[in-house]
Amino acid sequence: MTGPKPISRELARERGLLRYFTGKPCKHGHVAERLLSNRECVVCAKLRDVQWLITPKGKAYQRQYRETPKMRNYHREYSRKRYLEKKAANQSVRESCETEDRLRVLKPKEILQLLRAEVTKAGGQEAWAKKAGIDRALVNKVIHQKRPVSRNMMKALGLRVVVVKD
């Protein structure tokens, strides 16, 4: 059997406790501590409370309790706290997205993919080269990986070369 160590009602009273424990089930079969005051099992007491709370009287009591200044204040503080937490969470997500947008590190392969996509969008190598003011032959060589992407091309792609300290 699990549960607290049995302590008689008399001993519990001597020690100034509010509960005692017999280890024997109550009339409803709960093996639980009993209240010193009325010998009621704590599970039965809890159930009685819960059942009372859903009666009209209990509901009225709950309503009244919620309207006390202390509880009103508590609810106001709670929803304010939740609101600020949510706001802060949204803010940090937005900030990290913005930073990632601006500071995305691209691999050479990704730069090439970006170039190919832009060239396709422009309607061909010649069209893109003309638009970007870059020699068409160079664009062709870069696309076929015979030459590295030039700085001017990066600029035309909206990229910036950044040197990062190790």
Q: Could you give the CA distance from residue 91 to residue 163 in angstroms, rounded to a whole number?
A: 29
Q: Who's near 32: CB < 8 A, 6+ residues apart?
A: 3, 21, 26, 41, 42, 43
Residue 30 interacting with Zn ion (CB under 5 A): yes
Any contact of residue 122 with Zn ion (CB under 5 A)? no
Q: Tell me whether residue 3 or residue 123 sits nearer to Zn ion (CB atom).
A: 3
Binding of residue 44 to Zn ion (CB under 5 A): yes
Contact flag: residue 132 with Zn ion (CB under 5 A): no
Residues 6+ apart with CB under 8 A from 11: 20
* Coil vs helix vs strand at 62: helix
Which of 7, 12, 17, 26 binds Zn ion (CB under 5 A)? It is 26
Structure-token pair, residue 95: 């900030």
> How many C-beta atoms lie closer than 10 Å to residue 18's C-beta?
11
Question: Which residue shows structure tokens 């302590």?
Answer: 7
Least gap, CB of 54 to Zn ion (angstroms): 19
Cβ atoms of 42 and 48 closer than 8 Å: no
Work out how close the CB of 59 gets to Zn ion at its nearest, in angstroms, rounded to a whole number. 24
Interface with Zn ion: number of residues (CB under 5 A): 6
Among 3, 14, 28, 93, binds Zn ion (CB under 5 A): 28
Contact region with Zn ion (CB under 5 A), list: 11-19, 43-51, 69-77, 89-97:
43-51
The residues that touch Zn ion, with contacts defined as CB under 5 A, are 26, 28, 30, 41, 43-44
